[in-house]
Amino acid sequence: MAKLIYFDVVGDNRGNLISLEGLKNIPFEIKRVYYIYGVSDKEPRGFHAHKELKQVAFCISGSCEMLLDDGERRESVLLNNPNIGVFIGSMTWREMHNFSKDCVLVVLASEYYNEDDYIRDYDIYKKMVER
């Protein structure tokens, strides 16, 4: 269910470089980028779905678990490498757990921030995907 995207790494003796481009290795036009850091392993985040928003998330430092739920199945993926992203489609419930202290989670988003796009109640989400 979880769609992982393996980014090409351009590496040489100076280190590694990864390039992310909308509508190329990222399957939408990128309108917004945000990152989450200074996290606690005891404080999970997320617990919502989006009506329209599509995103790609990856850790450029440290790790976290991204739990995805499509209303029928739940799957958790470990994001622990800057070259592995996970695609999060619309109407997918997500939770982020088990952050490492050094975690920097970067998220590329298909839309500008819009609180009206969030579904923050799991029961409401379930009813919406059952239709």
Give burial (CB, 10 Å; 0-12/13-18/19+) of 37: middle
Closest CB to ligand T46 among residues 3, 11: 3
Q: Examine the residue annotation and report whether 97 is marked as an active-site residue of this protein.
A: no
Choice among 32, 48, 97, 126 that is catalytic: 48
Closest CB to ligand T46 among residues 12, 116: 116
Q: What would the two tokens of residue 67 be?
A: 């739990």
97 lies in the site for ligand T46, by CB under 6 A: no
Residues 67-96, one symbol each (x = binds ligand T46 by CB under 6 A, - = not), give ---------------------------x--
Residue owning tokens 């990128």: 30
Contact set for ligand T46, span 29-48 (CB under 6 A): 32, 34, 36, 45-46
Residues that bind ligand T46 (CB under 6 A): 32, 34, 36, 45-46, 55, 57, 94, 107, 113
Catalytic residues: 48
